[in-house]
Structure 1
């Protein structure tokens, strides 16, 4: 269960009020903290979550914890099994494939939209990201490169300046818990260098304002990442269906 794996990061315990409105700030804090732990991989896929242990850790009643877990289930991060327990979602290979297919569509569209915008601040940040990524690859610092990969894709999404696209993307990435999967993808021999070259090509096409090609190359990049990831599976979790 999660009780022996997690750390209490709050400044102090909070006592839940009796009213629903009083519970909302507490519930939001629990949601944000648990979401972050799941997405980062601090809590393993398939881990059993104890309402009682979480309530004790956060210093609250079980009610805001229960409501928080319901919200995380809506986001696809946990699975509540009646009379069994609540578990961190462990995507099957099929689910990972489907999520990556949506990632490919959204990031391709974002690259196209960014290419149309001209010299926006995200372009400068992307170029700085590439410079740091080159250095990380050169010294074989895969942990740092993994961080820069996440930043690169985030900059493309924010640079598209489409709030609906970004909202869908954030929900998707939470379900995918990408930060814990990218390490598996980058563990394949030669993948960090290839990924870095693909990033450079995407930015070159965006700078050239070639939206069609930027979209195509970004989609090819996401497919390549998916292939590298799938080669590094299986992940623990539910059956492939």
Structure 2
């Protein structure tokens, strides 16, 4: 029950049923999900460990509102870890893992324009999970798990607003990374992976700045209307 509750609440966060900054009230969540407040409390603790919710002393739990600094740091960590994993994948991945990676990239490229952003983000998650597996470094996989929730959240948000052209460019970059991995070119795979993450970072940060500017504009309008 606890795990199912975690999954339910996590998906609600990824799909922005609850917005950044929203307060999460145990009683209301229990009524909405039909589970006990104990299960809700345990699930929120798990989501807090993933960085998706934040506990404010004396006030309760809130949906994490990522700052520009935090988003930049998340992508910096991704660039370091994922580019290193691409290099290790070249050195250690089996042919079976290479074939599985090709299949996962193909599936991600088949995303229909009407498909939910969350589903597409899951397919991209699966691509990078295979790369992590093929890299064969369990300690690094544990490190990336600490970022996983926030990375998937950002990936879902950016996918939701990405244009069809941007998605095509994303897939072209993934295919380029795969070609380097298949050719066992560690230097190129590492370089392309870092570029892929830095491109994602620039897009996410631009969205964050735009949302901040819109929020300020809305706030000023409300004061004027008042």
TM-score by length of 1: 0.73
The correspondence for 1:87, drawn from 62, 68, 84, is 62
Q: Which has the higher helix share?
A: 2
Contact 1:185 1:229 in 2 (8 A): no
Q: Which residue matches 2:220?
A: none
Q: Kindly indicate whether residue 186 of structure 2 is the aligned counterpart of residue 211 of structure 1.
A: yes
Q: Kindly indicate whether residue 50 of structure 2 is the aligned counterpart of residue 75 of structure 1.
A: yes
1:146, CA displacement in angstroms?
4.6
Secondary structure class of the residue paired with 1:175: helix
TM alignment of 1:115-134, pairs within 5 A: 115-134=90-109
Contact 1:47 1:88 in 2 (8 A): yes
CA distance in 2, matches of 1:94, 1:107: 20
CA distance in 2, matches of 1:32, 1:221: 28
CA RMSD of aligned residues (A): 2.9
Q: Which residue matches 2:82?
A: 107
State how many pairs are aligned: 210
CA distance in 2, matches of 1:75, 1:140: 29
Give unpaired runs (5+ residues) of structure 2.
Answer: 217-226
Q: For the structure 1 residues 135 and 71, does the alpha-carbon distance in structure 2 shift closer, same or farther, using more than 3 Å as the test?
A: closer
Q: For the structure 1 residues 33 and 195, does the alpha-carbon distance in structure 2 shift closer, same or farther, using more than 3 Å as the test?
A: same
CA distance in 2, matches of 1:82, 1:132: 44
Secondary structure class of the residue paired with 1:90: coil
CA distance in 2, matches of 1:228, 1:141: 21
Contact 1:73 1:79 in 2 (8 A): yes
The correspondence for 2:146, drawn from 156, 171, 186, is 171
Q: For the structure 1 residues 38 and 120, does the alpha-carbon distance in structure 2 shift closer, same or farther, using more than 3 Å as the test?
A: farther
Q: Which residue matches 1:182?
A: 158
Deviating 4+ runs (over 6 angstroms): none
TM-score by length of 2: 0.77
Give unpaired runs (5+ residues) of structure 1.
Answer: 1-25
